[in-house]
Structure 1
């Protein structure tokens, strides 16, 4: 995502985001808005106790995904629904800092302890049709400079990774793409991982620009939706994040890891 605003009331757009009334207000898939904030309770209507561990952007499927950091690909994986639903069948990619020169973990293995990862979920190749034509599956690999992206590949901030991934749009509203970003860290205990607010990791040269852009987006979207309670701005640690970090403990043996959220 490269442009959050400013809001244009005539086109009902704010940068790459379309304030799509048919999708967000009138449609059966009523979600918070084009940006789903980190640490949001009840982000899944079917599971109201879950809290979002990423920031999600919902846009039209022809929008581009850019590498957010200089780094090394730790892993890349395919999300398969077998063509059964329109939300998956796309790629996820994990990028670690250039300073971490340890070799990528073998396929199926967890990264070693104390690995920082910028994880980008839901990306498809630039060679895939947009929007997706259901039930076709375009599993063309992601590429950079004509070469398939594989673990160990160095990536530069700003390089295009692909298009945003697939989002079900059964009402044909035109909102049919999404991408998620999260920052995670493995620990010395392989049961335990950390998730962090991505906004807190922005480079100091752009941090103020993007936090103001997100703040303006939230205000503009709430004005457009005529609902000032969509985002809990007053209790956010920074615009876009309700918490600074979370610790996940998967040793409990239950379906979901136990979570400890920290402001």
Structure 2
């Protein structure tokens, strides 16, 4: 079985059967132009990437230059979220090397605008979305082997997001942002971190009336029904 070096500066390797475009589509293993000549041969990447091999520092400089050319912090936030969903190694290297500049974009205050625009910006699922209509599937979802490595979770029901109040599914931006900082600043392996949104509905009328809203379009459940759903999650 071939192995893929996750970090050019690290000595460990990760076993994988992914090959070609499938490998490039995996954000945890994709290294983009940092794949070496040997790795490109082993994983069938020749022709799928530009011929020049760059190291991680070169990649960070390129992404930072592009990020600084955007006009608004929300654009920068969207750019970083897309990078996280396509090349985690580069995302965390960029964040770790530029924490002072990027922390206000990845988390407060820009994450608030990101939460409000979450449905519009949504491109690729990250973490878990557990909803009341599918509460009978929670145990099966959590039993998925994909989550066997999970050691750290951040969960929200989206009701009290910073000073913005009820953001419904947009609240998922908070667990994603917090866990990104835990990795960049605390060294937590992102493969062991899982953001979770507990979808119990929303009282945000703007979301309820938005045809692009990705969450459960229902008034927020409360009382015994809410408690029962949370109990099912933590059981």
Between structure 1 and structure 2, the one with the greater Rg is: 2
Band the TM-score falls in, shorter-chain normalisation: under 0.3
Structure with bigger helix share is: 2
More RCO (CA 8 Å, sep 6+)? 1
Normalised TM-score (structure 2): 0.26
- Which has more strand, going by share of residues? 1
